[in-house]
Copies of this chain bind each other. A is one copy, B any other.
């Protein structure tokens, strides 16, 4: 706790100096896809729609533009709140903001995924990462880098199916049950994330990784962008979701502060 207080005090003391003029842009990465009508949603979910409510110069002479939008809570770069797959667990507005800032652990399984699009992150992948970088710290968010981002936003390639509207036909990588169990019980992570449509792989029928993560009152981040720009260790993730009262998730803006 003393360490953490120290970090935050230092940030604010230094940032309040007269020399502050914004943040070094090479140190901040936006891990969020823009939302538009091409944004990939889970096939059964309501897609993003947007329309102009006002757009132009008013009779008073000034410019005024405003839009309305509608969407499922689960599409684009978004968060799965614990209540999404676990009855009685936290809704998106109830996740403590302290849990939404965390050290980022990035596990690169791109070469395994090239061989097998149904790949699931294994205990071996976690052991390999820890052998190189040390134990995953408590309170981390573990992000699976599959390379799927290069398929965004083509629904056929990104959902891995020639019939992407049929959820029974999807193919993309995800976490394994064993890895999810280990991260919850042995490493006490705050959440997990991935650069595919789901923390469970496309062929899952029981969504066991969702059940484990949400059941432990933890969150998942899906369709995370630009993960290949984040190092295996040392970055800080800030993932701030829309605050829908009682919501099961929603669009989240995710940034990484690089080391």
Give chain A's interface residues, CB within 8 Å of chain B: 1, 3-25, 27-28, 30, 32-36, 45-46, 50, 53, 57, 60, 62-74, 77, 83-87, 93, 96-99, 101-103, 134-135, 137-140, 188, 190, 205-207, 211, 233-236, 238, 240-251, 253, 255, 257-259
10 A–B contacts from the bound complex (CB under 8 Å): A7-B15, A16-B103, A16-B259, A34-B93, A34-B243, A45-B53, A64-B207, A65-B87, A67-B246, A238-B240
Known: A21-B137, A238-B238. 20 other contacts (CB 8 A): A1-B24, A8-B257, A8-B258, A9-B259, A17-B137, A18-B137, A21-B188, A22-B101, A22-B138, A50-B246, A53-B72, A57-B87, A60-B206, A62-B207, A63-B86, A66-B74, A69-B244, A69-B247, A240-B253, A243-B251
Cβ–Cβ contact A50 & B247, under 8 A = yes
Cβ–Cβ contact A12 & B138, under 8 A = no
Q: Which residues of chain B come closer than 8 Å to A14, judged between CB atoms?
A: 3, 6-7, 10
| Distance in angstroms between the alpha carbons of A34 and B29 in the assembled complex | 27
Q: Which residues of chain B come closer than 8 Å to A240, judged between CB atoms?
A: 238, 240, 253, 255
Q: Which residues of chain B come closer than 8 Å to A238, judged between CB atoms?
A: 238, 240
Cβ–Cβ contact A20 & B103, under 8 A = yes
Counting chain B CB atoms within 10 Å of each CB, the highest count among A13, A205, A248 belongs to A248
| Distance in angstroms between the alpha carbons of A67 and B71 in the assembled complex | 9
| Distance in angstroms between the alpha carbons of A139 and B15 in the assembled complex | 10
Closest 9 CB pairs of A and B: A70-B70, A240-B253, A34-B245, A36-B245, A240-B240, A12-B259, A22-B139, A63-B87, A34-B93
Counting chain B CB atoms within 10 Å of each CB, the highest count among A32, A69, A235 belongs to A69
Cβ–Cβ contact B60 & A68, under 8 A = no
Q: Name A64's contact: one of B10, B35, B64, B84 (CB within 8 Å).
A: B84
Q: Which residues of chain B come closer than 8 Å to A25, judged between CB atoms?
A: 96, 98
| Distance in angstroms between the alpha carbons of A20 and B234 in the assembled complex | 12
Cβ–Cβ contact A244 & B23, under 8 A = no
Q: Name A244's contact: one of B11, B13, B50, B249 (CB within 8 Å).
A: B50
Q: Which residues of chain B come closer than 8 Å to A77, judged between CB atoms?
A: 243
| Distance in angstroms between the alpha carbons of A245 and B101 in the assembled complex | 25
Cβ–Cβ contact A64 & B46, under 8 A = no
Q: How far is the CB of A78 from chain B (nearest CB, A)?
A: 10
Q: Name A15's contact: one of B16, B72, B103 (CB within 8 Å).
A: B103
Cβ–Cβ contact A13 & B248, under 8 A = no
